[in-house]
Structure 1
Amino acid sequence: MPLAAFDQLACPLDGVPLAQDGQSWRCASGHSFDIARQGYVHLLPVQKKRSREPGDSKEMVAARRRFLETGGYEPVSDAVNRVVTAGLAVQPVWRILDAGSGEGYYTGRLAEALSGQTELQVLGLDISKWAVQSAAKRYKDLSWVVASNANLPVLPEAVDALLSLFGFPVYGEFARVLKPGGLLLQVDTGPDHLRELREIIYPELKPAKAEQSTCPEGFRSLGAESVRYPLTVEGQDRISDLLAMTPHGYRATEDGRRRAAELTGLTVTVDVTIRTFEKH
């Protein structure tokens, strides 16, 4: 069956259902949100912004798209697709939310992996306007909104599976929008992720953060798995994109960025952990 528009949007101002009316989404309270020419909807009210343009910059988004299109993180995407596919129950409609979808690489590949099995509604959400614009231009059959994980513009218990990939999980909101038994998939970097690059750009590495050991309230753990492999990045342009698409791009010292700019090739470790939870 074909992809369908995500039909469980909620007004970010009062939480009541939104319905499409021409080129806008409206709620019964009279709030209206226009559909941008790229096809996305901006559902992050000005009063809930913490900066003028929150989230990733236009340059970070462009760098991430260029790098991901080289296929370097495809094994991570494949693992995500496999876990989500195995965790979804057979039913007439699957509603998927990618909370922190960036420029849409993982969201788009997941939609492709799931298409044809049942009716599919996929919503990509990110706080960065530039990321959502990029995603909406590339993946026109999916639904895209600018919004915050702290105030998801989604109706309660509407989502079958929720992705939080390299993002900022807000478990209370995740539990609110997931159906009972719904799947939460969380992907985080491991202690060795891009270690070789970090050793070049920082004077010394900070101790690795302790891995998440407790289950979020309202969920039960379904397990975890590691995705780990070496990745060779050839050429200064690709190394520059890899650095620019991560927080290391602005955290690095000037000397660190200079050393990275001198590289013509580098093999780094990709080290991520995929954790799955079920809402109960």
Structure 2
Amino acid sequence: MNSTPFQALACPLDGEPLHLAGSAWRCAAGHSFDVAKQGYVNLLPVQQKRSTDPGDSKPMVAARQRFLEAGYYQPIAQAVSKHLLSHAEVRSASSFGCLDAGCGEGYYLRELSRAALNSRPLSLVGLDISKWAVLAAAKQDDKKMPHCSWVVGSNAHLPVQTATLDSVLCMFGFPVHHEFARVLKPGGLLVQVEAGAGHLRELREVIYPTLKPDATSERKVPEGFVQLQTESLSYQIALEGQDSIGDLLAMTPHLYRASQEGRARAAALDALTLTVDARLMIYERS
């Protein structure tokens, strides 16, 4: 499968286009950002950080990587890839630019590239605020996979030039719709996946004394977009062994929200059958 390097990065300090010169990205004002030896670039300036080490920790990233590579969320990745590749076929550009905003360790972009055997060339960029996530993603690149640009950055201030992308993914993340609208071309696609009401309910029943009532409010279409489709993905998975259950808990916010007693109950389990309930929303940039 053909791929093209993503070239439309923007300086996080002044918004000007960045150009790759040797092993650094530079803008016309002279701001320079070195490419790490693992192949990623850090475009998260200190003034955009809320902590010294924002985003998922190194153990959380490792747990998510083990869990996702075991294939538990592969039906979600396949559904996302199907929508994106169908959209790529009708776009007029020579290559199809796609940003995963909150890419984690890169699972969904790798699955997209594996599915794109006969598509037009892809130009992929994965961005996450966690340096540990981006480092893990960059380390998994190999010669059999298309080149992907990996960036440490924030969804609130995407270091991407305006109207340069054909698609944006936001997978169980923190959407910033005005930024997504800015970087998408007219007619570009936003694929957003979030947890449904029943997602991981069996785990939540173990770690929490009571569950909050399911929210039923109707979702508004983000400004600058029109809604094309909403799809529900629901199925069950069976986790065997304390390691798999521990990885699932460690990769979710439930690890910190649960009490010590709730975490202990989860750690004592040897097997757990779970509901995966995801809501996939497709928006078009108007």
The interval holding the TM-score normalised by the smaller chain is over 0.9
User: How far is the alpha carbon of 1:139 from its aligned partner?
Assistant: 2.4
Per-residue CA distance 1:31-60 (angstroms, 9 max, x = gap) = 000001110000000111000110000000
Per-residue CA distance 1:71-108 (angstroms, 9 max, x = gap) = 11111111111111222324311000000000100111
User: How far is the alpha carbon of 1:115 from its aligned partner?
Assistant: 4.6
Matches of 1:198 and 1:214, distance apart in 2: 27
User: How far is the alpha carbon of 1:137 from its aligned partner?
Assistant: 0.6
**Correspondence for 1:256:** 262
**Correspondence for 1:106:** 108
What secondary structure does 1:255 align onto? helix
1:162 aligns with 2:177: no
Unaligned runs of 5+ in 2: none
**Correspondence for 2:59:** 59
Matches of 2:215 and 2:171, distance apart in 1: 17
**Correspondence for 2:96:** 94
- Equivalent pairs, count: 280
**Correspondence for 1:138:** 140
**Correspondence for 1:50:** 50
Change (3 A) 1:153 1:212: farther
What secondary structure does 1:63 align onto? helix
**Correspondence for 2:75:** 75
What secondary structure does 2:173 align onto? coil
Per-residue CA distance 1:10-46 (angstroms, 9 max, x = gap) = 0000011000011100000000000011100000001
Does the CA contact (< 8 Å) of 2:4 and 2:95 recur in 1?
no
User: How far is the alpha carbon of 1:213 from its aligned partner?
Assistant: 2.0
What secondary structure does 1:7 align onto? coil
Equivalent runs, 1:113-262 vs 2, <5 Å: 113-140=115-142, 141-210=147-216, 212-262=218-268
TM superposition outliers: structure 1 runs of 4+ over 4 Å: none
User: How far is the alpha carbon of 1:200 from its aligned partner?
Assistant: 0.2
Change (3 A) 1:147 1:115: farther
Matches of 2:41 and 2:211, distance apart in 1: 40
User: How far is the alpha carbon of 1:116 from its aligned partner?
Assistant: 4.2
Per-residue CA distance 1:203-256 (angstroms, 9 max, x = gap) = 111122345521100000001000000110010000000100111111111000
Matches of 2:263 and 2:16, distance apart in 1: 47
Per-residue CA distance 1:149-205 (angstroms, 9 max, x = gap) = 000000000000100110011011000000000000000000100000000001111
What secondary structure does 2:192 align onto? strand
What secondary structure does 1:4 align onto? coil
User: How far is the alpha carbon of 1:2 from its aligned partner?
Assistant: 2.1
Does the CA contact (< 8 Å) of 1:77 and 1:109 recur in 2?
yes
> Match for 1:267: what amino acid?
T
**Correspondence for 1:20:** 20
Normalising by structure 2, report the TM-score. 0.95
Normalising by structure 1, report the TM-score. 0.97
Q: Percent identity?
A: 56
Matches of 1:266 and 1:213, distance apart in 2: 32
What secondary structure does 1:145 align onto? strand
Does the CA contact (< 8 Å) of 2:138 and 2:150 recur in 1?
yes
Is the deviation greater in 103-112 or in 21-30?
A: 103-112
Matches of 1:73 and 1:104, distance apart in 2: 13
Equivalent runs, 1:24-35 vs 2, <5 Å: 24-35=24-35
What secondary structure does 1:153 align onto? coil
Does the CA contact (< 8 Å) of 2:85 and 2:119 recur in 1?
no
